[in-house]
Homo-oligomer: A and B are copies of this chain.
């Protein structure tokens, strides 16, 4: 199997696509730009979703569900918002099909035209704030801390599995607050949760910061984001948290009586991560042998592959393996005994390696004799023989070690790919030859930002949240600057 994976160096993009398809994570569907998330890929997404969901609930949020359709007129209410999304909307215009008059096929029934077209949600601020108007009268009704897990549609012209698809799965938090301060605090809190999740679960270190005017969410006052670095030196925006000010409250007329008994517009945030995280996860750790998964998100953490020549050996191994499965499960380890008789051990080894199972145990007649197991690590591709006694505890620790190791590796990679650049030549050369995150001075104008993008395809990924103030001059214009920002080419 490993052979059928393209070389990462030759074509990173082909390597990625092969990996996603051949590791049974996702595939393209018959519908342009829409993917099928296969069971193994979906099992990883479930771990991501459930973990994040727990973190949201820990911080007081509840889930709810809003309509998939948004009346067209809702979009026009917030000027920037419509500007941002109108060009990629799937539009429902009719509600019925019928047989064509000549009975040769199915056609849209012209008599079933909607009075007002409906947009398949690209994001739900408008329909949700239209709903919140009915939920909020006074400060007693605030805050509203609601999240939605849903599918959304953005009609992208160039799509890539997980990274950019016409339909994707995501969560979108939408909160309503009585004060600006509380809303800003919520925005930052959620950014922190995303960063924590990326580091502790996905083993991906991220930079935290604020987007520039031209990169922020359509309708936000400020967009906070986390940015991760992929192995090809490109950045990937892994999550965003928006402080929406009173924009949507004004657009949908959502006011509340404050404690001083005055009517005031409500303050808002929204924040989201999507199946794009799957793309980040795959690209951050995987190698020429296939997927590498951090143990905390691996649907299967340990697989046992039996090695046998005859039925008698198989049944002796099965007895030991089944005992191990029971012990491991009792410790909360996700383990699978691969007892298929349709495939040989070598095939199974390659398959589980390819699918990124963190640990593999091979169990043969000799192991039974010697009370040992052969244990192989996916992250280091190393093997060792271990006594069967105490194996559960050993593996529990080893899974932690692997999780830590993947994060350490990703951190080291990122450190090696952060470059402070101080001149336009250095900027261009570093970007071309090394890639990575470029810390550079910028004069703060959208004009310069746009020119740099046009010349190099690098964008300002973020203005660091904990940036050291430092006087300097813009690498492009030579005008004064107070702080370095982070440039990169990005997914």
Residues of chain A touching chain B, judged by Cβ–Cβ distance below 8 Å, are: 27, 29-31, 34-39, 42-43, 45-46, 62-76, 82, 86-99, 105-106, 108, 117-120, 127, 130-131, 134, 140, 146, 150-151, 153, 155, 167, 169, 342
Nearest CB on B from A40, distance (A): 8
The residue that A98 contacts in the complex, of B66, B86, B108, B130, with Cβ under 8 A, is B86
A contact face: mostly helix, strand, loop, or mixed? mixed
| Max count, chain B CB within 10 A of own CB: residue among A65, A82, A99, A167 | A65
For residue A147, which residue of chain B has the nearest CB?
B39
A-B CB contact pairs (8 Å), 22 listed? A27-B131, A29-B66, A30-B131, A31-B67, A31-B118, A31-B127, A34-B68, A36-B64, A36-B65, A36-B131, A38-B64, A39-B146, A42-B65, A43-B63, A68-B68, A68-B151, A68-B167, A82-B97, A86-B99, A86-B106, A92-B120, A95-B155
A95 to B154, CA, bound (A): 9
Question: Is B31 in contact with A43, judged by CB distance below 8 angstroms?
Answer: no
Nearest CB on B from A116, distance (A): 10
The residue that A64 contacts in the complex, of B39, B72, B96, B151, with Cβ under 8 A, is B39
Question: Is B71 in contact with A97, judged by CB distance below 8 angstroms?
Answer: no
A74 to B76, CA, bound (A): 34
The residue that A93 contacts in the complex, of B65, B108, B140, B342, with Cβ under 8 A, is B108
Question: Is A69 in contact with B34, judged by CB distance below 8 angstroms?
Answer: yes
A82 to B376, CA, bound (A): 52
A119 to B87, CA, bound (A): 20
| B-side contacts of A98, CB under 8 Å | 86-87
The residue that A30 contacts in the complex, of B68, B106, B108, B127, with Cβ under 8 A, is B127
Nearest CB on B from A224, distance (A): 25
For residue A63, which residue of chain B has the nearest CB?
B42
A441 to B118, CA, bound (A): 48
Question: Is A96 in contact with B88, judged by CB distance below 8 angstroms?
Answer: yes
The residue that A89 contacts in the complex, of B74, B96, B134, B140, with Cβ under 8 A, is B96
A87 to B95, CA, bound (A): 8
| B-side contacts of A151, CB under 8 Å | 68, 150-151
Closest 5 pairs between A and B when the two form their complex, measured CB to CB: A34-B67, A39-B62, A37-B65, A86-B97, A95-B155
Q: A30-B127, A96-B155 are in contact. Are A64 and B42 (CB under 8 A)?
A: yes
Question: Is A67 in contact with B36, judged by CB distance below 8 angstroms?
Answer: yes
Question: Is B67 in contact with A29, judged by CB distance below 8 angstroms?
Answer: yes
| B-side contacts of A63, CB under 8 Å | 39, 42-43, 46
| Max count, chain B CB within 10 A of own CB: residue among A29, A70, A117, A140 | A29
Other A-B contacts than A88-B95, A93-B108, 18 sampled, CB-CB below 8 A, are A30-B131, A31-B70, A31-B118, A36-B64, A36-B65, A39-B62, A42-B64, A42-B65, A43-B62, A43-B63, A69-B167, A72-B108, A86-B106, A87-B98, A91-B95, A93-B93, A96-B155, A151-B151
| B-side contacts of A130, CB under 8 Å | 29-30
A63 to B299, CA, bound (A): 12
